[in-house]
Amino acid sequence: MKLSENALTVLERRYLSKDNDGNLIEKPEDMFRRVARNIASAEAKYGKDKKQVKAIEDDFYKLMTSLDFLPNSPTLMNAGKDIQQLSACFVLPIGDSMESIFDALKNAAMIHKSGGGTGFSFSRLRPKNDAVMSTKGVSSGPVSFMKVFNAATEAIKQGGTRRGANMGILRVDHPDINDFVGCKEDLTVLTNFNISVAATDKFMRAVAKGQDYELVNPRTGKPQGKISAKEMFDHIVSMAWKSGDPGMIFIDKINDGNPTPKVGEVESTNPCVAGDTWVHTGHGPCKALDLLNTQFTARIDGHDFQTGSQGFFRTATKRVFRLTTKEGYELRLTEDHPVRCVKSMTRYNTETGWCKAGELRPGEMIVLNDHRLKDAWPGKGTREEGYLLGLLIGDGTLKADKAVISVWEEVGHEGIMEEAMRTANTLPHRSDFSGWMSVSGRNEHRFVLGSVKALAKELGMTPGDKSITEMLEKCSSDFYRGFLRGFFDTDGSVQGSQSKGVSVRLSQSDLLRLQAVQRMLLRLGIVSRIHRNRRKAGTTLLPDGNGGSRDYPTLSQHELIISGENIVRFQKIVDFSHAEKARKLDEKLKSYRRTPNRERFVARVESIVSEGTEDVYDVQVPGVNVFDANGVKVHNCGEQPLLPFESCNLGSINLTNMIVNGKMDWKRLEAATKLAVRFLDDVIDMNRYPLPEISEMTLSNRKIGLGIMGWADLLIQMGIPYESQVAYDFAVKLMKFIQDKGRKASEELAKERGPFPNFKKSIYAKSKPVRNATVTTIAPTGTISMIADCSSGIEPIYSIAFVKRVMDNDELHYVNPHFEKACRDRGLYTDELETAVVASGSVSVIPGFPNDLKALFSTAHEISPEGHVRMQAAFQKHTDNAVSKTVNLNNNATKEDIAKIYLMAYELDCKGITVYRDGCRGTNVLESGSKKDKGEPQALQTKLFGDQFDENGKLKPRARPLVTQGATHRMTTGCGYLYVTINEDNKNLFELFARMGKAGGCAASQTEAIGRLISLALRCGIDPVAIVEQLKGIRCPERVLGKEKIYSCPDAIGKSLQAHLEMQGQKFSEMSKLDRGLRPECPECGAPIEFAEGCLVCRACGFSKC
């Protein structure tokens, strides 16, 4: 295989396996074979024999060794090794509790240890100074916890080869958004975080209109003041201008493209239900409050699913709304809670989706749970006990001393009396129990049994109150069957005909009692509707008990109605003991000439009314993210930057291999796309995930991210300027081709292996099955593009040429080969041209250079901001996930330029945007002084150095005391041992002596000279930290690359001085030119660093930092 010298350097430093002594034990071909063999072994899981697996292994090997496609770095590094962690990035949710925060921190540590990066949303955390009820204290807020995460990341070296990296996100409507936006203004904190603001459509509209917008406390769900959207936007822009952070993600646009909205939303608000909500479980009905901090089995559509370990948890105090349906079902929840709703309905099909409760309108339909597949659960109470309680509530009296059940003589009442006696005999009773007793002159029979009274009391009923209590509603399914039969025996009826509609009805004046019966029936798979105020309150002429009649006040009457195929199910599992009602129901059902109307398990919205604020609760049901709330199918959601516990499985196609004689080889691109999709799907199965939750979510959605690299090189080879409409149009065409062919490959895999498990909950549910929830992503390609020897992702070229310093201190010029070829073809290439482009990295300033070549070889800083954004938007049109790109700006770019970029990105439907102004992290030093300091230079000098000035106002060194104290540090350098002695006076560090272990030579004299100059600077009051920064990182050919890397003698002196200061309590960050963004040299090879795709990369040696 053909690899450039640069590619070999990158592979040897970062990818190829080494022994314990750091010696290489594999070649590039060995690495690719290791990866191909390991990933192809997943094929055996799907029925491939050894010969077929070997053939696919060879295909994968050729795909990579041809450099047509490369997977992300963790796959190349870890596949076939013990670690076997193949993903680059993971998403971890953080809840608003100390337990959740430190669970996330622990999980992040495990991920960083395995070589991955992490993304977090801190939006659920309550703002600083907010109440913490458990400790009666106040919260420190999201930014303070970000510092904890940053410190933990600093302590972990990722998998031995990759540095820890975090993405932190905060919603723009969080009360701490101002602190978050400015949290990286001090460049020495949060050095392991990139940050982005999650901007909503509502916020962006407010920016455009110059309006205020509300900040919302995530703990309470209540507004916490308003601020100007324009002022906040300007603050975001200002910080991005200063330091490159924060970026912006447009969270509603990301959610619009979420392929599995039923599984979860991206960075959603936190919807909740009231604590009195009835939730159906595998162990019977419970109130949400009963399930706090208790893992349980949620029953959804007759299937059982395990919840998260917390069970229900309190989320906030929020405004609650009562959702009422025309059928009588009710639910109290927050307005942002997703409810399963009907999008369209035909005679044979019902298409459903998720709708926020507050956006539902009267007449729209919502979905009920269908529990016909599993209508049994354990619990308190037998069928016989239920039957007697049903009779008691229907036609009985509960007194302080006894419970009396009554039956009135009518056709068929004997059946009730017989069933009551049968059930009574199964309960404890006295030997002289005589059963039914007739009441003279009232056509009434009464039944008194102590066990009924005891049972009623045990279930929470009290004298004079025959409500269906919570304890009764929590009873077993057997109890339900008996109870409902008893209740319908006394107060139920059978009405209608096939032509007018047959129904079973239950009339009551107590609406709450009917609603409880309605919930109980639905748990048994029987849908009903309640006709409110069937008869309004008033007076009715009734017998007065003395042979006459008179008007009596009467309550409103409500009626529960069971119809359609629900009647058949009612007869099967409830039925009547009342002989006449049972006969009548059986007769009417047998008279049906056609099948009763099919139940659709939907209800129609009647109203949504606010009911004030209260504590609200949520639950996690992994895999389905749904639960039964008062019979209604609702979503469980948590607030995450992406779906909880997802990982990214990435790879990129090398576009420079897809062109022949200036034209696209579409067949080769199609073949590479198809095989790459198969490769990435196999990666999912072979990955060893750092957490079980990540494994479950990744395997459920099987998202892959196939992207591209070498876009800028492709355009150059085709003669198309990067900043041109032709390039934008071609980007759309190219990405659509890859998206279409990738989707087709995923469909073929679905035929072979089945669709991803959450397919039926995805936006593709009505389309052809696909294997992967997403197929395309344009991700950072820093080091893999160096292996492929092509440009990064969709970025323009960063520089036409650069200098690389090698061990013998020589300089090697690296010139873009496409540039060199184009110039040689025209007879333009000379030594003078090479020197000029190496010096500037560009041809824009070279007089007389052809304009068409200037346009073709425009570098990242020469592309206009609009050109960057338009290119990103072009690729976003046909990319499932986000597009990684950086808008590189010259140092003289203005805040107005950045504002324009952010607004343009939003308008062109980008999902996010990152900007980086050259040198931005080092330009604010001169701005740090106050106006007073700038106006009074002498005062500023005194502030910095005290009174160390002579009569001419010049600095003078402090006099040396007779006695100083200090320490000597021994440092190992390429020239031998270096002894650095650092002494102090009563004010601060005073002097430094540096002596080589062997006498004589230039090295000894130079180190002595450096020591003298440092001493002079210290005695003049120069900050020793500044001296450390000047010395650290200086390189010479004789380096020591052990545990403590020593690049030169000056570097050793700087590091010894830092160590001495750290012993005194001085804290140092790992900030360097790299971190400060000062157009630095690579810390490992000295070549220029690029900022591309959100990361810092060195194209000479492969160093990268995101």
Three-state SS letters, 502-563: CEEEEEECCHHHHHHHHHHHHHCCCCCEEEEEEECCEEEEEECCCCCEEEEEECCEEEEEEE
**pLDDT value of position 928:** 24
Whether residue 989 is found in the same domain as residue 938: no
The H or E element containing residue 1091 is strand 1089-1092
Q: Answer with the residue of higher pLDDT: 937 or 757.
A: 757
Question: What band does 1085 get if pLDDT is binned at 50, 70 and 90?
Answer: low
Task: Give whichever of 137-141, 264-268, 1092-1096 has the largest mean pLDDT.
Answer: 137-141
Whole-number Å distance between alpha carbons of 571 and 1099: 76
Question: What band does 164 get if pLDDT is binned at 50, 70 and 90?
Answer: low
The pair of structure tokens assigned to 784 is: 């893999």
**SS3 of residue 634 by DSSP:** strand
**pLDDT value of position 658:** 97
Whole-number Å distance between alpha carbons of 525 and 530: 16
Instruction: Tell me if 318 is assigned to some domain.
Output: yes
Question: What band does 937 get if pLDDT is binned at 50, 70 and 90?
Answer: very low
**pLDDT value of position 935:** 37
| Residue 657 DSSP label | G
| Residue 960 DSSP label | P
Q: Above 80 in pLDDT, residue 430?
A: no
Q: Chain-wide mean pLDDT for the chain?
A: 85
Whether residue 686 is found in the same domain as residue 833: no
**pLDDT value of position 244:** 86
Question: What band does 1104 get if pLDDT is binned at 50, 70 and 90?
Answer: low
Residues 368-379 as b or e (16 or more Cβ within 10 Å = b): bbbbeeebebee
Count the alpha carbons within 13 Å of 830 in the hemisphere toward its beta carbon. 7
Q: For residues 868 and 883, is the Cβ–Cβ distance under 8 A?
A: no
> Mean of the pLDDT values across residues 568-586?
96
**pLDDT value of position 795:** 93
Instruction: Tell me if 761 is assigned to some domain.
Output: yes
β-strand 166-171 against 193-199: which pairing, if any?
parallel
Long-range CB contacts (within 8 A, 24+) of 1068-1072: 1068/1025, 1068/1028, 1069/188, 1069/189, 1069/191, 1070/154, 1070/191, 1071/187, 1071/188, 1071/191, 1072/1032, 1072/1033
**pLDDT value of position 544:** 66
**Per residue, what are the HEC states of 1058-1075?**
HHHHHHCCCCCCCCCHHH
Instruction: Tell me if 1060 is assigned to some domain.
Output: yes
Report how many domains make up the chain: 7
> Mean of the pLDDT values across residues 751-755?
95
Q: Above 90 in pLDDT, residue 399?
A: yes
Whether residue 412 is found in the same domain as residue 451: yes
Instruction: Tell me if 267 is assigned to some domain.
Output: no
Instruction: Tell me if 889 is assigned to some domain.
Output: no
**Which CATH number belongs to the domain containing residue 308 in this structure?**
2.170.16.10
Whether residue 484 is found in the same domain as residue 569: yes
Question: What's the pLDDT tens digit per position in 966-1000?
Answer: 889 888 887 788 889 999 888 789 899 998 876 45
Whether residue 741 is found in the same domain as residue 843: no
Instruction: Tell me if 1019 is assigned to some domain.
Output: yes
The pair of structure tokens assigned to 824 is: 């040689």
Instruction: Tell me if 908 is assigned to some domain.
Output: no
**SS3 of residue 133 by DSSP:** coil
Question: What's the pLDDT tens digit per position in 797-840?
Answer: 988 987 765 444 456 677 889 999 999 999 999 988 988 888 88
**pLDDT value of position 136:** 64
| Residue 43 DSSP label | G
**SS3 of residue 1046 by DSSP:** strand
**Per residue, what are the HEC states of 324-385?**
EECCCCEEEECCCCEEEEEEEECCCCEEEEEEEHHHCCCCCEEEECCCCCCCCCCCCCCHHH
Q: Which domain holds residue 615?
A: 273-369+604-635
Whether residue 487 is found in the same domain as residue 623: no
Question: What band does 884 get if pLDDT is binned at 50, 70 and 90?
Answer: confident
Whether residue 321 is found in the same domain as residue 250: no
Q: Above 70 in pLDDT, residue 922?
A: no
Question: What band does 1041 get if pLDDT is binned at 50, 70 and 90?
Answer: low
**pLDDT value of position 152:** 84
CA pseudo-torsion sign 458, 460, 466, 470: negative
The pair of structure tokens assigned to 786 is: 């160096």
> Mean of the pLDDT values across residues 132-153?
82
Whether residue 142 is found in the same domain as residue 245: yes
**Which CATH number belongs to the domain containing residue 59 in this structure?**
3.20.70.20
Q: For residues 731 and 874, is the Cβ–Cβ distance under 8 A?
A: yes
Q: Is 765 exposed, middle or buried (0-12, 13-18, 19+ CB in 10 A)?
A: middle
**pLDDT value of position 808:** 44
Tell which residue, 757, 780, 762, 764, has the closest CA to residue 695.
757
Whether residue 580 is found in the same domain as residue 622: no
Q: Above 90 in pLDDT, residue 347?
A: no
Q: Answer with the residue of higher pLDDT: 749 or 120.
A: 749
Instruction: Tell me if 309 is assigned to some domain.
Output: yes
Whole-number Å distance between alpha carbons of 399 and 406: 13
For the ranges 515-524, 752-761, 1093-1102, the lowest mean pLDDT is seen at: 1093-1102
Whether residue 132 is found in the same domain as residue 240: yes
Question: What band does 766 get if pLDDT is binned at 50, 70 and 90?
Answer: confident
**Which CATH number belongs to the domain containing residue 462 in this structure?**
3.10.28.10
Whether residue 82 is found in the same domain as residue 93: no
Q: Above 90 in pLDDT, residue 737?
A: yes
Give the residue from 227, 256, 285 where a domain finishes.
Answer: 256
> Mean of the pLDDT values across residues 70-98?
87
Whether residue 34 is found in the same domain as residue 139: no
Question: What's the pLDDT tens digit per position in 612-658?
Answer: 888 888 887 866 778 999 999 998 743 323 455 677 789 999 999 99
